[in-house]
């Protein structure tokens, strides 16, 4: 982790040209914004959040996954059939995302096409770069939330993709089968075709909870492990037929077995580590040290509303904290994730899903957050890195961000 005191972060045409202690002569004609003594850091990346669950974040937190889905998530998501409610709720969500330290985000909507398109319009207005998914689910959900058939789900998905693919500059569709339990084999097979036609990325859930894993085993006995069910339909990092990459995020991966982990590695699947959610829903602790040792791609997710808060600062400190518990209570060979490592996961780690994102190194997209940490008084000397660690631990982002840039564009 490198930090400069009173340094310069240079941006041209939305790309970073690097960070410097003194401004190189060749950049001396560029306009300068002086942020004084404030902290400037790369924008943060949220690889996993459910936009329609934002409304009930931080409530009903004493429930476990399946009860929580049935009592909290599904009833709320059903409301997004009503575009008036969707507008009210998603406007709040988009406004809060704009205020947050997050500059890039992959999100689930609901299965409703109009509400999801509205969500994309609102996200486009924020200035963030987003992938947004219309959810597919044609089984194992309440009647008012389940799509009528695989075919109906597919038709709505194609119509949605056709409608939104070219519509926005910063907001793109992502294929979003909710998870194996809520998608029939027929639907999964057709999503494979859609993926091949439109070359969309994919996001879903994987090996979050032991009950869920047992259910997948029951539903699809032919698959060797949970992730193999996605792999069968070429929705797990690569297409076996045409050998193309299928950019994929799998959220959670708390209980992934060895073969699953190895396949994720081979296929370049991104793990969205969501520690707050894993604690709140009593899922367990994902073995992130082992994933990093094996060379998996890992980023962080807030997983609102399994996670109670959109703060990726909080996801960073939660990552460190749960890794310490894992080390102490589960596997003493898995050394804790350090603060710089967790900060990396929240920036370059997840940023890699978007391209060259999450750093001020030359050639990276210029996403930046400016923090006003003077609101946290202190009596002694602190280095820039100590100030950053403190700002992140004290969730300074919840008190607001001073300024925010995405691809070089200042949002506020």
Judged by CB, which is closer to a copy of itself: 155, or 335? Answer: 335
Using CA atoms, how far residue 265 sits from 13, 86, 257, 288, in Å, is: 34, 38, 12, 13
Stretch that binds a copy of itself, among 28-36, 37-45, 59-67, 235-243 (CB under 8 A): 59-67
The Cα 393–Cα 399 span in angstroms is 13
Residue 317 touches a copy of itself, criterion: CB under 8 A: yes
Residue 112 touches a copy of itself, criterion: CB under 8 A: no
Residue 384 touches a copy of itself, criterion: CB under 8 A: no
Quick one: tokens of 256? Answer: 């992934």
Q: How far apart are the first and last CA of the chain?
A: 27
Give me the least distance between CB of 230 and a copy of itself, in Å please.
Answer: 25
The secondary structure of the chain in percent helix, strand, coil, rounded to multiples of 5, reads: 45, 20, 40
SS3 369: strand
Among 70, 266, 282, 410, binds a copy of itself (CB under 8 A): 282
Give me the least distance between CB of 148 and a copy of itself, in Å please.
Answer: 26
With CA atoms as reference, report the closest residue to 136 among 235, 231, 227, 208: 235
Among 46, 76, 117, 232, binds a copy of itself (CB under 8 A): 76
SS3 137: coil
Among 12, 30, 152, 330, binds a copy of itself (CB under 8 A): 330
Residue 324 touches a copy of itself, criterion: CB under 8 A: yes
Q: What is the dihedral of CA 399, 131, 407, 338, to 10 degrees?
A: 60
Among 31, 36, 221, 379, binds a copy of itself (CB under 8 A): 379
Provide the strand spans (E) within 144-247.
Answer: 171-173, 176-177, 202-206, 237-238, 245-246
With CA atoms as reference, report the closest residue to 212 among 242, 247, 251, 174: 251
Quick one: tokens of 69? Answer: 């889905």
Judged by CB, which is closer to a copy of itself: 58, or 363? Answer: 58
Residue 118 touches a copy of itself, criterion: CB under 8 A: no
Judged by CB, which is closer to a copy of itself: 34, or 381? Answer: 381
Judged by CB, which is closer to a copy of itself: 285, or 370? Answer: 285
Among 320, 346, 370, 401, binds a copy of itself (CB under 8 A): 320
Taking a C-beta distance cutoff of 8 angstroms, is the pair 326, 280 a contact? no
With CA atoms as reference, report the closest residue to 377 among 361, 390, 358, 393: 390
Residue 144 touches a copy of itself, criterion: CB under 8 A: no
SS3 168: coil
Among 158, 395, 403, 408, binds a copy of itself (CB under 8 A): 395
Taking a C-beta distance cutoff of 8 angstroms, is the pair 225, 191 a contact? no
Among 398, 403, 408, 411, binds a copy of itself (CB under 8 A): 398
- # binding residues, a copy of itself (CB under 8 A): 53
Residue 165 touches a copy of itself, criterion: CB under 8 A: no
Among 109, 201, 237, 284, binds a copy of itself (CB under 8 A): 284
Residue 266 touches a copy of itself, criterion: CB under 8 A: no
* Beta-carbon count within 10 A of 46 CB: 31
Residue 85 touches a copy of itself, criterion: CB under 8 A: yes
Judged by CB, which is closer to a copy of itself: 69, or 164? Answer: 69
- Residues near a copy of itself (CB under 8 A): 55-62, 76, 79, 85, 88-89, 92, 95-96, 276, 279-280, 282-285, 308-309, 317, 320-322, 324-325, 327-330, 336, 338-339, 377-380, 382, 386, 389-395, 398-399
């Amino acid at each position: 982790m490198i930090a400069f005191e009173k340094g310069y972060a240079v941006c041209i045409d939305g790309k970073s040209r690097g960070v410097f202690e003194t401004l190189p002569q060749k950049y001396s004609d560029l306009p300068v914004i002086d942020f004084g003594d404030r902290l400037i850091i790369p924008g943060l990346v949220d690889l996993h959040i459910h936009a329609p669950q934002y409304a009930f974040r931080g409530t009903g937190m004493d429930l476990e996954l399946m009860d929580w889905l049935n009592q909290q998530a599904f009833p709320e998501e059903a409301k997004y059939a009503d575009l008036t409610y969707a507008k009210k709720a998603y406007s709040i969500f988009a406004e809060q995302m704009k205020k947050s330290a997050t500059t890039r985000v992959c999100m689930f909507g609901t299965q409703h096409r109009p509400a999801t398109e509205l969500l994309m319009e609102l996200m486009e207005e924020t200035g963030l770069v987003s992938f947004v998914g219309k959810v597919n689910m044609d089984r194992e959900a309440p009647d008012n939330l389940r799509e009528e058939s695989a075919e109906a789900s597919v038709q709505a998905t194609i119509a949605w993709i056709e409608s939104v693919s070219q519509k926005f500059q910063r907001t793109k569709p992502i294929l979003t089968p909710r998870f194996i339990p809520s998608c029939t084999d027929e639907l999964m097979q057709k999503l494979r075709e859609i993926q091949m036609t439109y070359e969309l990325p994919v996001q879903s859930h994987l090996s979050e909870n032991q009950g869920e894993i047992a259910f997948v085993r029951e539903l699809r006995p032919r698959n060797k492990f949970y992730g193999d069910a996605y792999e069968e339909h070429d929705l797990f990092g690569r297409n076996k037929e045409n050998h193309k990459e299928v950019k994929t995020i799998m959220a959670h991966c708390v209980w992934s077995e060895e073969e699953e982990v190895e396949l994720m590695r081979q296929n370049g699947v991104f793990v969205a580590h969501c520690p707050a959610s894993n604690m709140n829903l009593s899922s367990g602790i994902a073995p992130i040290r082992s994933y990093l040792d094996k060379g998996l791609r890992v980023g962080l997710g807030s997983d609102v509303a399994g996670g109670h808060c959109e703060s990726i600062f909080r996801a960073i400190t939660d990552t460190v904290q749960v890794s310490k518990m894992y080390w102490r209570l589960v596997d003493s060979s898995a050394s804790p994730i350090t603060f710089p490592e967790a900060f990396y996961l929240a920036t370059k780690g997840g940023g890699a899903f978007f391209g060259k994102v999450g750093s001020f190194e030359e050639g990276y997209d210029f996403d930046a957050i400016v923090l006003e940490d003077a609101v946290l008084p202190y009596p002694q000397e602190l280095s820039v890195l100590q100030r950053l660690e403190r700002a992140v631990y004290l969730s300074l982002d919840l008190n607001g961000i001073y300024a925010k840039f995405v691809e070089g564009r200042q949002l506020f």
